[in-house]
Amino acid sequence: MEQEYKSRTQIKNEMKALQELGERLVAFSPEALEQIDMPENLREAVLFAQKIPSREALRRQLQYIGGLMRTVNPEAIRREIAMRDHRQQASTQALHQLETWRDDLIAGKTGLIDELCQRFPAADRQHLRQLVRNAQKEQEQAKSPKSARTLFRYLRELMQSAELPQSDQTGSEATTP
C-alpha cells in the first residue's frame, strides 16, 4: 500500500485549482447553479459569495468555498462547467455563422441565397432577396443598418426553426442530408 507522496507545492496547487473552480461557480447565475449537482452547503456558500460587495470578504469567502470543494468530488462540477462552456461556444459559433451569411448576402455573394434555401427548406426565397436588396440599398446610402438587422433576425429564425445539430452549422458549404 504505497501512497503517492505529494509535495506541499503540489497540494497547494490542487487547493488553488479547487478555489478557482469555486470562483467559476460564483460567476454563474443562481438559475445555472440550481442545475449543477453539488451539496447544499456549497451552493449556499456560492450564493452568499455573489452578494458580498467587499473585496477582502469575498476573498475569504472564496477560500471557504475552496475548502468546501475539498470535501466534494469536483469532477462532476468540472464536467458541468465544461458542458456549459461548450454550449456557449457552439452558440457563439452559430451567431458568427449567421453574421457571415448576412455579410456575404449584403456583399452580393452569388449562390448563397440558393444554398440557404436548400439548407433551410422553410426559407422564403423572395422575402430573403427583398431583405438583401433593402440592406444593400441602406448600405449604399449610408443609412443605419435596420434592414441588415432584419435580415440577421430572419436568418436566425430559419436556423432555429430547422433545429440543426451544432456540427452542421459550422460551414456554409455543408448541406443537410
pLDDT tens, residue by residue, 50-81: 999 999 999 999 999 999 998 888 898 899 88
User: Does pLDDT of 175 surpass 90?
Assistant: no
pLDDT at 166 over 70: no
The reply to whether domains 8-72 and 90-169 share a CATH topology is yes
What was the pLDDT predicted at 110? 79
Q: What is the mean pLDDT of the chain?
A: 86
Q: How many CB atoms lie within 10 A of CB 21?
A: 16
Domain boundaries, the chain: 8-72, 90-169
Choose between 169 and 67: higher pLDDT: 67
pLDDT in tens, 38-51: 899 999 999 999 99
> Does 3.40.50.300 match the CATH number of domain 90-169?
no
DSSP per residue, 78-146: HHHHHHHHHHHHHHHHHHHHHHHHHHHHHHT-TTHHHHHHHH-TT--HHHHHHHHHHHHHHHHTT---H
The predicted pLDDT at position 165 comes to 47
What is the architecture of the domain spanning 8-72?
A: Orthogonal Bundle (1.10)
- Does pTM surpass 0.85? no
pLDDT of residue 153: 94
Confidence of residue 163 (pLDDT cuts 50, 70, 90): low
In the predicted structure, residue 121 carries a pLDDT above the cut 50? yes
Q: Taking Cα atoms as reference points, which of 158, 175, 164 lies closest to residue 123?
A: 158
